[in-house]
Structure 1
């Protein structure tokens, strides 16, 4: 066991956590309000625990539906499930949570908390969220103050705060400037920048605000070595079985073929992986016809079909002046997908599979791959919840690059 540990706030399904686990960081607590998300994270952390010990047979049995999740955890009572806190952080309970974590630091024998990672729910900061009624007074605008409470109490060597780019302009910039001022007063130097996940090998254009705080004396911003996914979206999806709407399984099934080289290089699929969560939604005939037209427009003209270009019999929305790109294909011939967000949990119209013959939206596994989640990553809960967990997550390859660079800096490799 190392002498220090991390705290994981607003942890979600573990996209940000994953990168730090891959860089051998240990955690003293994970806090997340969504039950399915914290169950997903707990399952993934058990995977890393078993992998470290060279004993992945039980996890493989769970992948293959040979044992239940309860049986998996019963086989490993030594795995500390008390570190996973399923609760909503509020001003009313934050002090209790802080005291609980402090007791865990002592009981587990850690000398200190080295870092805090996480990002509050982004709905209040996103441009779409701010357009809704009553969002201006949404309490989620001020969850950054709870994050600050943990920084003030534990005084870690570093922190990583992640959110949507819209946080920069939220409340006319007052929220971010207040956050920056308060953490500077706590003694942190800041690196504040919008970073694109595609610069970390993720097959997706996805911009996020990343705030890194540290106590080191160094000039300028933190530099990250950029590297890109070396294939296309088709390379990402080509080994998966083609599906008609409604076909496929959430449980284990066979791959359709060998992975393309870029997919292997990314680590998204490795030898011994099992295909899970590859089940297509049902779609009505009208939507499938729209999907085909959207795909055809991209394939033949490389352009996005506007909603107003559809024949009247295919239109069901009265709004013909905005959201004209409400149907969008994930372009198979490009190296990056457009940004995948949690709205995919509501419908798949904005994330259409590039194959005209299939004429369907992405499966959970396809969405997970676009986010760079490996095929060994199991998502718990309903299909709707799985889509939401994936759409809300930090791409693991992005978090891995951030964690690796922070580790280098803290070890003196500026």
Structure 2
């Protein structure tokens, strides 16, 4: 007999909610999302209302919001009172953590929960990233964000979840010569958790992007769990399957709402990314003529030679940087004929040089919606805030398709554990 699993969770350092998206899609119940950035927190709130409306057969109200026929204030009025603090817009610090605990405790009471099943999330990765360390003369060794994991551990100590998911960039394992990662694991094990980690590449799990993350899973030592099986999903798809049904855009053009211009690809259907009859936030950043001239050369080089131009390959008249010895791969096309896009990072909020659209007719960087698709966000996922903030939210996110595979694996662990316990009790 199939055991019904109803698990809840809290999401720390939640960002726009890429990690929690897959868990909610699988039926996990969020009790709180904690995020310091105000625009990302608004995105989380909008998505929380989406799930509430979808679960109560009022999805048309959400579509009204996307189409702009109701105001944000009216849309937000559909959030049930017991969920009024489901998103906690606060920095997690020594000064705020007790207040955050109080809000979560109250949420648990209002939502009828007496324990936390899971904690998910990971602190900001900039302090651990190889790029960040390379640009910092102190190699991020004194960055206080290195120690945000200690705040995560305080949540483990207070709520004692059965299992937790900690995710971050692979270079967290080498930051501080490995001392930060080891100290973190030591502190987690001291709370009675058994740990196992793996470097997981999203491209092996249904995402058309090569994106590696460390996934650290911890479970109560007595629970007899293990690292979850994360389903491998491979297909004969191309990045163009994500791009070709969206309207052409000029640099700086804004399509807040537009219709698709082609049938959905098999990938868009299988992945569930394409959802409704229209799409929002197909928004392109503006580019100056020098950048567009460079973009044209980069696109042509990829199409004709199959390689990316180095900065030193550009005509002297197009170069504005004196540094000709490092960071020479400043411009990169998103190759539509490739199986996977290169890793999407938050730097896309600064400029689009690393994410140039492959269409020579458009000569621009990726739009907001195109970047979201590469991260595997569904088309009905609406991001709040200005364009720069939205790109940051997208670049920092865990791909929801990968998140869902992790959620499925954890669900299976709990089902096995419950079946095992029932078997023991049946023979008692």
Return the offset for 1:183: 1.2
Tell me how far apart the structure 1 counterparts of residues 27 and 6 of structure 2 sit (CA, whole Å). 12
In the alignment, does 2:20 pair up with 1:14?
no
Match of residue 181, structure 2, among 176, 184, 187? 176
Tell me how far apart the structure 1 counterparts of residues 343 and 79 of structure 2 sit (CA, whole Å). 38
Preserved contact between residue 228 and residue 406 of structure 2 (Cα < 8 Å): no
Return the offset for 1:362: 0.2
Return the offset for 1:289: 1.3
Task: Classify the secondary structure of the residue corresponding to 1:275.
Answer: strand
Which deviates further from its counterpart, 113-122 or 101-110? 101-110
Q: Deviations over 1:322-352 (max 9, x none)?
A: 1111000001101110000000000000000
Which consecutive residues of structure 2, in runs of 5 or more, have no partner in the other structure?
421-428
Q: Deviations over 1:265-315 (max 9, x none)?
A: 111102x24211112221112111111111111111111111101110011
- Residues 4 and 397 of structure 1, relative CA distance in 2, 3 Å threshold: closer
Aligned residue-pair number: 411
In the alignment, does 2:281 pair up with 1:274?
no
Q: Deviations over 1:71-111 (max 9, x none)?
A: 11224554612121101010222123223322332333212
1:141 is aligned to 146
Q: How does 1:18-97 map to 2 (within 5 A)?
A: 18-78=21-81, 80-97=83-100
Match of residue 102, structure 2, among 85, 99, 103? 99
In the alignment, does 2:132 pair up with 1:129?
yes
Which deviates further from its counterpart, 130-139 or 346-355? 130-139
Tell me how far apart the structure 1 counterparts of residues 109 and 267 of structure 2 sit (CA, whole Å). 44
Task: Classify the secondary structure of the residue corresponding to 1:412.
Answer: helix
Tell me how far apart the structure 1 counterparts of residues 235 and 67 of structure 2 sit (CA, whole Å). 29
2:344 is aligned to 340
In the alignment, does 2:115 pair up with 1:108?
no
Tell me how far apart the structure 2 counterparts of residues 399 and 4 of structure 1 sit (CA, whole Å). 15
Q: How does 1:282-301 map to 2 (within 5 A)?
A: 282-301=286-305
Tell me how far apart the structure 1 counterparts of residues 59 and 231 of structure 2 sit (CA, whole Å). 32
Tell me how far apart the structure 1 counterparts of residues 97 and 224 of structure 2 sit (CA, whole Å). 31
2:234 is aligned to 228
Preserved contact between residue 9 and residue 120 of structure 2 (Cα < 8 Å): yes
Q: How does 1:394-405 map to 2 (within 5 A)?
A: 394-405=398-409
In the alignment, does 2:217 pair up with 1:194?
no
In the alignment, does 2:333 pair up with 1:329?
yes
2:167 is aligned to 162
1:217 is aligned to 224
Match of residue 390, structure 1, among 383, 388, 394? 394
Which deviates further from its counterpart, 231-240 or 272-281? 272-281
Tell me how far apart the structure 1 counterparts of residues 51 and 369 of structure 2 sit (CA, whole Å). 20
Tell me how far apart the structure 2 counterparts of residues 361 and 82 of structure 1 sit (CA, whole Å). 37
Following superposition, which runs of at least 4 residues in structure 1 exceed 6 angstroms of deviation? none
Task: Classify the secondary structure of the residue corresponding to 1:213.
Answer: strand
2:246 is aligned to 240
Which deviates further from its counterpart, 275-284 or 332-341? 275-284
Tell me how far apart the structure 2 counterparts of residues 357 and 198 of structure 1 sit (CA, whole Å). 28
Which deviates further from its counterpart, 93-102 or 278-287? 93-102
In the alignment, does 2:324 pair up with 1:320?
yes
Return the offset for 1:165: 0.9
Tell me how far apart the structure 2 counterparts of residues 98 and 74 of structure 1 sit (CA, whole Å). 25
Tell me how far apart the structure 2 counterparts of residues 76 and 106 of structure 1 sit (CA, whole Å). 17
Task: Classify the secondary structure of the residue corresponding to 1:252.
Answer: strand
Return the offset for 1:260: 1.2
Return the offset for 1:3: 7.0
Which consecutive residues of structure 1, in runs of 5 or more, have no partner in the other structure?
none
Return the offset for 1:157: 0.5
Return the offset for 1:47: 0.8
Return the offset for 1:224: 2.0
In the superposition, the TM-score normalised over structure 1's length comes to 0.95
Q: Deviations over 1:218-249 (max 9, x none)?
A: 56x43322112541111110000111212232
